[in-house]
Amino acid sequence: MSIAELFFGGTFHIISFALIIGAACFITYVVKNRATYRHWEKAFYIMFTLGLFMSIAAGTRDSIGTADGFPTEGALFITLCALGVLGFIILIIGLLSKLSKSKTVFRYGTYVLMAIIVVKTLLVQGKRVIEFLQN
């Protein structure tokens, strides 16, 4: 397997890589413009949706739970699940904050979702690269 196949080896590889690039671009844009950025609620929902789609694409790409796929036991899988649950908890808090009309929750919630996406991406892609280098 070549390095190109690692990221472009099939439909879900391409979709997953495109989502990673899209998330990186959006995170960079928001962080660079954080002082003047005003659409925190929209950024919050975009980050949650991107993170969800990235998890789905990575899970499909890496065949989670199958004999030859990503194992469903161990610290890495538990960490990824815990971060996913944390993302959903942040979403619920954000939805509840709409009742109080607070934008602060969306701003800091967006930062937390960004951190979750970055950590999960580094963990999953790091595992894939390590496996690639070992083969």
Which class for 90: exposed (0-12), middle (13-18), buried (19 or more C-beta within 10 A)? buried
Please state which of the ranges 60-69, 70-79, 85-94 shows the lowest mean pLDDT.
Answer: 60-69
| pLDDT score for 1 | 66
The pLDDT value given to residue 63: 83
Q: 31 is in which domain, residue-wise?
A: 3-134
For position 91, what pLDDT does the model report? 95
Number of domains the chain is built from: 1
Both ends of the chain: CA-CA distance in Å?
A: 8
- The predicted pLDDT at position 113 comes to 97
Mean confidence (pLDDT) of the chain: 90
Q: Using CA atoms, how far apart are residues 48 and 87, in angstroms rounded to an integer? A: 7
